Amino acid sequence: MFTEAAIAASWEVQDHGIGPYPLRFLAGCVRAMGLRAALALPQPLIGAEPAELVHGWLAAAVGWQDSIADDEMFARWLDMVATMLAVRRAVGRDVAGRSGRPSPQEGEISSGSPDKPRA
């Protein structure tokens, strides 16, 4: 469940325009301050929607027992979400940069096969 939730969360943060660095920074805050203190932050990420999203995650995580191990587990989860997002971005840039084929221009219709010449 840990990994599945991180996968879903990585798509959710991408939809909100949140990058990997703010998530890693928040993970560091959780490690340094603890979950309860991080939950008390008025805006753990910049922007109302990203802050609301992360507040929900923090609130769900605080339901556990108060321990350094729980703080670390949640921080690792945030790091995992950030890593998935960073990898997805890097792979997307790499694929776009290495395709060797120009993307169809607006209004052009593809022949259906990249190897067939256009009519």
Report which secondary-structure segment, H or E, holds 21.
helix 20-33
Side chain identity at residue 84, one-letter code: M
pLDDT for res 63:
76
In the predicted model, residues of the chain with pLDDT beneath 70 are: 1, 64-65, 93-119
| Residues 23, 13 contacting (CB under 8 angstroms) | yes
Is residue 107 in a domain?
Answer: no
Distance CA 10, CA 54 (A): 12
* pLDDT value of position 118: 46
Q: What is the pLDDT of residue 48?
A: 92
Residue 2 is predicted with a pLDDT of: 80
Residue 53 maps to a domain: yes
Residue 50 belongs to some domain of the structure: yes
DSSP 3-state helix, strand, coil percentages of the chain (rounded to 5)?
A: 65, 0, 35
Question: Is this structure's pTM higher than 0.85?
Answer: no
- The answer to whether residue 34 sits within a structural domain is yes
In the chain, how many domains are there? 1
Determine the structural domain holding residue 63 and report its residue range.
Answer: 2-91
Cβ atoms 39, 60 nearer than 8 A: no
Residue 44 pLDDT: 92
In a domain, 102, yes or no: no
Contact between 85 and 14 under an 8 Å Cβ cutoff? The reply is: yes
